[in-house]
Amino acid sequence: MRISYLTGPRATAAALALLLTLAPQASRPARAASFIVNGGFEAGFAGWTRLDSLGSDGTFFQQSGTQSPVNSSSVPAPPGGTFAAMTDSQGPGTHVLYQDFAFNVPTNEVFANLNFSLFIGNRADRFAAPATLDFSTPTLNQQARVDIMTTTADPFSVAPGDVLFNAYQTRPGDALVSGYTTISVDLTALISSQRGQTLRLRFAEVDNISVFQLGVDNVSLVSVVPEPSGVVLLGTGLLGAGLIGLRGWLRSRRAVVA
């Protein structure tokens, strides 16, 4: 097998040609796709579904200002825009807010992030987190959670076969009241395994000890095809190699002339 090497002007020309071919790809910005609509709740609950288990008091409300929708408790203002979604009630209950979405993403490498801001306003003296969202049992249940689920599951289910990914959950010992906190979760592995499937993003809050206000805002699920910056480095390296080859060829030509 014969291996041919390009030298002199031919090497430089080849490097330049390859760099020019790759440059348009390298200059393209990263492409982003968003899967959640009305994540700031500025359009009410368009795109979202609200459910309250049978016998619950209260629900998810569109909230603005610094008072909770039912009890007028002191709460932080929505961190994005004018409105947030917030649970409030004067009695026990279970409240769910969800949106279905499809992973219509390219087959090449994709990074995906779920982002949301949460306000935790637990007016009880503790969190209790049994493996259920049922408020009506004798078991104490005072918790909030965020999950990625299958769309065929009961919206109130926490069964492992129904919940594909738990993005957030309050636990006993957590701070009872905390201002809006932005949470970002890497869902790249989930996107890779569920590409093309329709899934469900669920926010859930249950309380049977005392009032619990859960505020939700700035919800987004974004996939990004990264900019191929490695192509720039490759093209730069090839060009450098070609220029080095050209300088060597010119020196050899001068030596022959002399």
Q: Residue 250: is its pLDDT beyond 90?
A: no
CB 158 within 8 A of CB 131: yes
Residue 132 and residue 82 in one domain: yes
Residue 3, domain member (yes or no): no
Identify the residue whose tokens are 């040609």.
Answer: 17
Domain interval for residue 21: 8-28+231-257
Mean pLDDT for the stretch of residues 147-164: 98
Q: Do 109 and 52 belong together in one domain?
A: yes
The count of domains in the chain is 2
Count of alpha carbons within 13 Å of 243, Cβ hemisphere only? 8
pLDDT digits (tens, 9 = 90+) for 91-118: 999 999 999 998 776 656 678 999 999 9
pLDDT at residue 11 greater than cutoff 70: no
Mean pLDDT estimate for the chain = 83
Lowest mean pLDDT among 123-127, 172-176, 205-209, 220-224: 220-224
17 shares its domain with 70:
no
Residues 248 and 141 in one domain: no
What does the CA dihedral 200, 42, 180, 170 come to, rounded to 10 degrees? Answer: -30
Task: Check whether residue 45 and residue 109 sit in a common domain.
Answer: yes
Q: Is the pLDDT of residue 198 over 80?
A: yes
What residues pair up with 207 in beta bridges, in sequence order? 93, 142
d(CA 45, CA 123): 25
77-94 pLDDT, tens digit per residue, is 999 999 999 999 999 999
pLDDT at 14: 47
Tell me the pTM: 0.77
Nearest residue to 115 via CA among 195, 58, 186, 176: 186
Whether 98 is in a domain gets the answer yes
Q: pLDDT band for 231, please (50, 70, 90 cuts).
A: very low
State the CATH number of the domain containing residue 196. Answer: 2.60.120.200
- Residues 19, 63, single domain; the answer is no
**Strands 212-225, 59-63: pairing kind:** unpaired
Q: Is 17 inside any structural domain?
A: yes
Q: Is residue 1 part of a domain?
A: no
| Paired strand residues for 203 | 97, 146
| 78 and 111 within one domain | yes
- Per-residue pLDDT at 227: 62
Is residue 9 pLDDT above 80, yes or no? no
